[in-house]
């Protein structure tokens, strides 16, 4: 289990195990990426002075120095400078409530022997920055940072879960707490678990609260901008604490630029920044910055040491390895760019700061503005809307032109704009609707899926904040589902694949709680037809960033999959999604798959994301179902072990 996670911790490994008179057994293993206290004193699993409390842990506690000082004043003795030891003593002092004192990212397991029998205390951080997977069979429990480690355990097999497959084909990924594997689950963010006498009990210890929709906000825009800027600065400064070099992603978008500019004001030396871009032929019509030199200009202005990587990756070669690292099929092409930039950064640094979370805190995604667009569009007479929607649906994809992105957005808006707000928001998060999946599924898969609603987690999550403003409802849902299940997952897996730790300053718990409760929705997304996303955060950064960055449109870690599917990956698609292979799998109708591919290549419709879903799924099935996880791991680990 630890060997297969070598990439997560190449600096050290450890194991502790104990058998008890009744025949029960507990074992903890660790792979360490040394960040704080590089000495052997940071070795894990780590224990307290008398060996009655043991811990294995992944993550960073940013307020560990303050906790350490407090614990020392209460008589606790420390043998290292590691944040791990502060966590052990905090648990001794406060028990299960220790998680409420932590500011950081973490997944840990503590084995407490003080009562004479082992009690396991398991916890995952507030937002789910760090992964925590587990499998329970009877009175046996196994847990790990990655699924591939669980699949090394005898008796835990790689079996596909049909309901999770149904969700994957809806969203591109599987929402927590399910995984694509039938017997493997995720501990939800903001939860801990207790395992004792063969019984597992899971409890929530934190949630992000929002005020009711009629709440009266009293603070001025100017006050809020100053407060946000200061809280953000404190978060960035706290997350720069490290005994190894620290750098940052730099896309020249608002979030990464704000982090880098803040780091530059704090740091005594030039900040190392890393930018990835693709050649011009790949970028046309994609959701990426049209001018990759914008990042270089900002880096020069801030005095940074910028590393700009222009890549033409061999995607057919790279994709199987990334699917293996992700553990589950995840059809967001951003994983490719994330992996490549982390691989490049690893030559210089072990820690990177990322802008993930800024959109969920301050309202940065276009779908939030889309809610207000739709509210205006619904005032248009229905006959005109019907004709407009029909005309938009018949537009070709226009691959390779600047109009492609506009058409893709228009089609997404047209299919959902007439729905009620909740239905509209969920529809805008999906890639295959009910009718499309019914046409794609074989009767056997349709029977297995039955009446299961893939949106069940979304609907339940909305109910938690149904009394809040609808914008805050959308932000809450993305914070609880979209962000941990997709963005934070690939952020962790792709960085750890290169043995790099990525930190996310926007997800400082106190900053997030302040933004949720103190910012009026109209200061997050301001306006309707010409809506300004993240308005108040832009105001907070107005004296920190140049106008070019403040006015930059939203752009993520995009990858040109439409271009690849039409050129570089045609042979791979024809091989992996051929009729005989699809028929053998028994999941999809071959003719439905061929129709998607034919229309995509002809430019009739943009099915790039849907084909990418099917391609990723097939690669995942080959790696985890066909070869068996242990066999696939042996193949994948060979070049990594040689490199390490």
Total-model pTM: 0.94
d(CA 106, CA 61): 7
Q: b or e along 369-394 (b: 16 or more beta carbons within 10 Å of the residue's beta carbon)?
A: bbbbbbeebeeeeeeebeeebeebee
Q: What is the mean pLDDT of residues 20-48?
A: 93
- The answer to whether residue 180 sits within a structural domain is yes
Q: What is the CATH number of the domain that holds 302?
A: 3.40.50.620
**Rg of the chain, C-alpha, whole Å:** 24
Q: Let me know whether 231 and 190 are in one domain.
A: no
Q: For position 642, what pLDDT does the model report?
A: 32
Last residue of a domain, one of 503, 529, 550: 550
Listed in sequence order, the DSSP H helices in 30-140 are 64-73, 83-94
Tokens of 44: 């894990």
Q: How big is the CA angle at 23 (ends 18 and 25), to the nearest 5 degrees?
A: 35
3-state DSSP of 220-256:
CHHHHHHHHHHHHHHHHHHHCCCCCCEEEECCCCHHH
Q: Let me know whether 19 and 61 are in one domain.
A: yes
Q: Let me know whether 160 and 233 are in one domain.
A: no
Contact 171, 431 (CB under 8 A): yes
Asked if pLDDT for residue 556 goes beyond 70, the answer is no
Q: Let me know whether 260 and 171 are in one domain.
A: no
Name the helix (H) or strand (E) containing 123.
Answer: strand 119-124
- The answer to whether residue 475 sits within a structural domain is yes
Asked if pLDDT for residue 499 goes beyond 90, the answer is yes
Q: Let me know whether 69 and 181 are in one domain.
A: yes
The 3-state DSSP class for residue 304 equals: coil
Q: Let me know whether 137 and 266 are in one domain.
A: no
Asked if pLDDT for residue 641 goes beyond 50, the answer is no
- The answer to whether residue 435 sits within a structural domain is no
- The answer to whether residue 210 sits within a structural domain is no
- The answer to whether residue 357 sits within a structural domain is yes
Q: Let me know whether 10 and 127 are in one domain.
A: yes
Total domains present in the chain: 2
- The answer to whether residue 379 sits within a structural domain is no
d(CA 7, CA 348): 17
Asked if pLDDT for residue 142 goes beyond 90, the answer is yes
Average pLDDT, the chain: 92
Q: Let me know whether 9 and 61 are in one domain.
A: yes
Asked if pLDDT for residue 562 goes beyond 90, the answer is no
Q: Let me know whether 119 and 27 are in one domain.
A: yes
Q: Which of 101-105, 398-402, 531-535 has the lowest mean pLDDT?
A: 398-402
Expressed as residue numbers, the domain containing 539 is 221-363+470-550
Q: What is the mean pLDDT of residues 193-198?
A: 96
The 3-state DSSP class for residue 337 equals: helix
Q: Let me know whether 195 and 324 are in one domain.
A: no
- The answer to whether residue 629 sits within a structural domain is no
Q: Let me know whether 181 and 282 are in one domain.
A: no
Last residue of a domain, one of 178, 204, 230: 204
Asked if pLDDT for residue 419 goes beyond 50, the answer is yes
Q: What percent of the chain has pLDDT above 70?
A: 94
pLDDT band at 331 (very low <50, low <70, confident <90, very high): very high
d(CA 417, CA 431): 16
Last residue of a domain, one of 533, 550, 567: 550
Q: For position 557, what pLDDT does the model report?
A: 66
Tokens of 472: 């805050």
Q: Which of 242-246, 488-492, 511-515 has the lowest mean pLDDT?
A: 242-246
Q: What is the CATH number of the domain that holds 68?
A: 3.60.20.10
- The answer to whether residue 243 sits within a structural domain is yes
Q: Let me know whether 195 and 229 are in one domain.
A: no
The 3-state DSSP class for residue 476 equals: helix
Q: What is the mean pLDDT of residues 385-401?
A: 80
């Amino acid at each position: 289990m630890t060997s297969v996670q070598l990439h997560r911790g190449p600096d050290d490994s450890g194991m502790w195990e104990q058998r008890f008179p009744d025949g029960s057994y507990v074992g903890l293993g660790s792979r360490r990426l040394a960040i704080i206290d590089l000495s052997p004193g940071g070795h894990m699993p780590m224990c307290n002075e008398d060996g009655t409390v043991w811990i294995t842990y992944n993550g960073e506690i940013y307020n560990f120095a303050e906790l350490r000082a407090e614990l020392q004043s209460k008589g606790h003795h420390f043998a290292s400078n590691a944040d791990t030891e502060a966590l052990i003593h905090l648990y001794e002092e406060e028990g299960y409530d220790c998680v409420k004192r932590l500011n950081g990212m973490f997944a840990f397991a503590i084995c407490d022997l003080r009562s004479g029998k082992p009690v396991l205390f398991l916890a995952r951080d507030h937002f789910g920055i760090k992964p925590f997977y587990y499998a329970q069979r009877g009175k046996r429990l196994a847990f790990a940072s990655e699924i591939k480690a669980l699949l090394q355990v005898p008796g835990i097999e790689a079996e596909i879960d049909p309901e999770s497959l149904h969700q994957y084909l809806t969203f591109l990924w599987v929402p927590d707490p399910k995984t694509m594997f039938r017997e493997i689950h995720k501990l939800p963010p903001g939860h801990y678990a207790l395992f004792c006498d063969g019984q597992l009990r899971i409890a929530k210890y934190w949630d992000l609260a929002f005020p009711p929709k009629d709440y009266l906000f009293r603070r001025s825009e100017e006050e809020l901008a100053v407060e946000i800027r200061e809280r953000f600065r404190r978060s960035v400064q706290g997350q720069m604490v490290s005994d190894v070099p620290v750098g940052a992603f730099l896309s020249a978008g608002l979030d990464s630029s704000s982090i880098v500019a803040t780091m530059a004001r704090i740091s005594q030396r030039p900040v190392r920044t890393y930018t990835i871009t693709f050649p011009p032929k790949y970028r046309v019509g994609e959701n990426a910055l049209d001018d990759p030199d914008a990042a270089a200009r900002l880096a020069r202005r801030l005095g940074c040491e910028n590393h700009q990587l222009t890549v033409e990756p061999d995607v057919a070669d790279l994709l199987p390895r990334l699917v293996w690292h992700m553990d589950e099929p995840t059809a967001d092409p951003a994983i490719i760019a994330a992996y490549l930039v982390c691989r490049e950064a690893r030559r210089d640094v072990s820690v990177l700061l990322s802008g993930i979370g800024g959109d969920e805190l301050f309202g940065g995604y276009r779908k939030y503005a889309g809610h207000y667009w739709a509210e205006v569009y619904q005032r248009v007479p229905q006959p005109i809307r019907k004709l407009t929607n029909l005309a938009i649906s018949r537009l070709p994809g226009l691959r390779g032109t600047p109009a492609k992105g506009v058409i893709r957005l228009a089609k997404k808006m047209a299919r959902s704009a007439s729905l009620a707000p909740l239905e509209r928001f969920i529809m805008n998060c999906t890639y295959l609707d009910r009718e499309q999946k019914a046409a794609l599924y074989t009767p056997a898969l349709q029977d297995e899926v039955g009446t299961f609603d893939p949106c069940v987690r979304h609907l339940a999550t909305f109910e938690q904040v149904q009394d809040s403003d609808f914008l805050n409802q959308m932000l809450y849902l993305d914070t609880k589902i979209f962000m941990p299940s997709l963005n934070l997952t690939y952020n962790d897996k792709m960085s750890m694949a290169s043995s790099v730790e990525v930190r996310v300053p926007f997800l400082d718990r106190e900053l997030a709680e302040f933004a949720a409760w103190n910012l009026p929705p109209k200061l997050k997304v301001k306006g309707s037809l010409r809506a300004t996303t993240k308005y108040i955060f832009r105001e907070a950064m107005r004296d920190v960033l140049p106008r070019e960055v403040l006015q930059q449109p939203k752009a993520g870690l995009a990858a040109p999959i439409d271009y690849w599917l039409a050129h570089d990956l045609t042979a791979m698609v024809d091989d992996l999604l051929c009729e005989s292979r699809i028929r053998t799998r028994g999941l999809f109708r071959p003719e439905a798959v061929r129709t998607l591919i034919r229309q995509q290549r002809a430019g009739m419709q943009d099915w790039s994301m849907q084909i990418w879903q099917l391609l990723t799924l097939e690669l995942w099935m080959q790696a985890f179902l066909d070869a068996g996880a242990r066999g696939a791991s042996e193949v994948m680990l060979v070049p990594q072990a040689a490199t390490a």
